[in-house]
Amino acid sequence: MRVLPILAVALVAAASSAPAPAAEGDPARGEKLYERCMGCHSIERDRVGPRHRGLIGRRAGGVPGFAYSEAMKRSGIVWDAGTLDRFLGNPRALVPGTRMGFAGIADASERADLIAYLKRATGE
């Protein structure tokens, strides 16, 4: 009986289909990238976009008093590294109807760097 070779093939197939772990970014490079965000966002205060303090673990549309789009409020997103990565890659694809006028960051390493910076800068 050839149970072990079949089991080995099944394990290799399962491992190769598993999602890759989120890349750890460089917060120093992310800080430079954050300069692009500062036209609309700040860590500490609301601007055209909501403040980023408290971002990780916050429900999208959850800053009290900020005028979010209905799409963002209804999105059901809770911000973590994965949801931030998808949103920063293409905001309008993840939240159709968002008012965020940013096209996205195509480079995955830049997104990882920016997320690493946001975690460090917001103490999360």
Structural domains in the chain (count): 1
Give the domain CATH number at 81.
1.10.760.10
Q: Considering the entire predicted model, what is its pTM?
A: 0.79
CB-based contacts of 123: which residues, under 8 Å, 6+ apart?
none
Encode the chain (124 residues) as per-residue pLDDT tens digits: 444 444 343 333 333 333 333 468 999 999 999 999 999 999 999 999 999 999 999 999 999 999 999 999 999 999 999 999 999 999 999 999 999 989 999 999 999 999 999 999 998 6
Output the DSSP codes for 50-82: ---TT-TTPBTT-STT----HHHHHS--B-SHH
Specify the length of the chain in residues: 124
CA distance 97 to 76: 14
Q: What is the dihedral of CA 80, 19, 21, 116, to 10 degrees?
A: -40
Domain limits at 47?
3-121
